[in-house]
Amino acid sequence: MRRPHRNSQKRYYEDNAVYFITTVTYDRHPYFREPILTELFIRNLWFAKKLKQCELYGYTVLPDHVHLLIQPKGKENISGVMHNIKRVFSLQANQIILSRRLENKKTGEGEDIYPRLRNDDRYAKLRWSETLKRLHHRFIKQHGTNHNFPPFKWQSSFRDHLIRDNDDYDHHIAYIRDNAMKHGLINTAEDWLCMWVDGILEPVFSETP
C-alpha cells in the first residue's frame, strides 16, 4: 500500500518496496575522495542493514554523492532508514575529522574534541570504538592535527526512485555498477573498489564503527 510522505508530494512509502537512492554531500564537496571516510561510510551502511532490517542490493560511493539500492523490511520506512544512515555517519565522520588527538586515559576514551563540539549534545555521548580509533589515527597521520579538512555535512534530504519491476531493478544494478566509469573515475567497473552489487560476495567486518 502506498502512503504519501507527509512533507512531500513526490515521495511515497510502499510496503516491501525497493528504492534507488541518491544522496549528495553539501555543496558537492568531494569528501569521499578521502578513503578513510569512504571506508567508514561503507562499514556504517552494512551495519545499518542489520540494525534497521534492510535488504541492501547495491551501492556505489562517488566523491560527492552516493547511490544505494535498498529495501526497508523493518519498522522504519525509507526516510527513517536514510535519516539514521546519514546522521550516524555525519557524527562519526566529524568525530574522526574534528578530534585533535586520542590519548589513553583511565576511562579508555581519551578524546580531545574541538571546544565547540564538547557542548554539542549530538557528540556528548559518542564513544571511541576500536574502528574509529584506527580510522582517526590514520586520518591524523595523513592530515596532521592542524589540518583544514572541512567538517562533513550532507545536503538535506535525498532523491528516491521506486523500483517498478525486474527490468527496472536490472537497469539500476547496471547503473550502480557502471557509475564510476560514467564519471571518468575508472576504465572498467571492476576497478572501482567503493562499489558493491547483488551477486558479489558481501564484505565481512570484524568490528563495528
d(CA 125, CA 111): 11
Band (pLDDT 50/70/90 cuts) for residue 8 is very low
- At 75-125, the pLDDT tens digits run 999 999 999 999 999 999 999 998 876 654 444 444 555 555 656 666 666
- At 143-172, the pLDDT tens digits run 998 899 999 999 999 999 999 999 999 999
User: Which pLDDT value is given to residue 183?
Assistant: 75
Q: Which CATH class is domain 2-97+153-197?
A: alpha beta
pLDDT(66) > 90: yes
Specify the higher pLDDT residue, 192 or 41.
41
d(CA 207, CA 71): 24
- Cell numbers 562517488 label which residue? 62
pLDDT(72) > 70: yes
Band (pLDDT 50/70/90 cuts) for residue 138 is very high
User: Which pLDDT value is given to residue 98?
Assistant: 86
pLDDT average, residue stretch 132-149: 92
Instruction: Read off the pTM.
Output: 0.83
Residue type, 83: H
Transcribe 175-199 into DSSP letters.
HHHHHHHHTTS-SSGGG-TTEEETT
User: Which pLDDT value is given to residue 127?
Assistant: 78
In 3-state terms the chain splits into helix, strand, coil percentages (rounded to 5) of 40, 20, 40
Domain extents for the chain?
A: 2-97+153-197
Specify the higher pLDDT residue, 134 or 109.
134
User: Which pLDDT value is given to residue 86?
Assistant: 97
Mean pLDDT taken over the chain: 82
Band (pLDDT 50/70/90 cuts) for residue 209 is confident
C-alpha cell at 136: 582517526
